[in-house]
């Protein structure tokens, strides 16, 4: 099983690579913390690759609608690693929550 650091790096690298391929700079903002959005459409994904694909879809939609940047919030606890991608213009939140064994 990959470590939390390996998963984190994989997610960040995949999103950064997609941002570069789309010719964007600063379209995704990475922050540590928690995310909450009571009015959002919530999409829960089950693995890091699906999360990265969903963020790429949000980027493409953001290019078309001007809904950039996408904010990616990372939260680490002693037992979990979570990522939340927020498109605050269109009220969409993509969530990846993983149980971790440290």
The per-residue pLDDT for range 57-95, each reduced to its tens digit, is: 999 999 998 889 999 999 999 999 999 999 999 999 999
Distance between CA 8 and CA 91 in Å, rounded? 24
Q: Residues 17-34: what's their mean pLDDT? A: 92
Cβ contacts of residue 102 below 8 Å, gap of 6+?
4, 78, 79
Res 94: pLDDT: 98
Distance between CA 68 and CA 58 in Å, rounded? 9
- Domain of residue 35 covers 4-99
pTM (2 d.p.): 0.90
Number of structural domains (the chain) is 1
């Amino acid at each position: 099983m990959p470590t939390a650091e390996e998963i984190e790096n994989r997610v960040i690298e995949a999103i950064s690579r997609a941002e570069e391929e789309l010719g964007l700079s600063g379209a995704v903002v990475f922050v540590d913390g928690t995310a909450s959005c009571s009015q959002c459409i919530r999409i829960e994904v089950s693995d890091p690759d699906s999360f990265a694909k969903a963020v790429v879809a949000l980027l493409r939609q953001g290019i078309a609608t001007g809904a950039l940047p996408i904010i990616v919030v990372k939260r680490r606890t002693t037992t979990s690693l979570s990522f939340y991608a927020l498109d605050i213009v269109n009220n969409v939140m993509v969530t990846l929550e993983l149980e971790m064994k440290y």
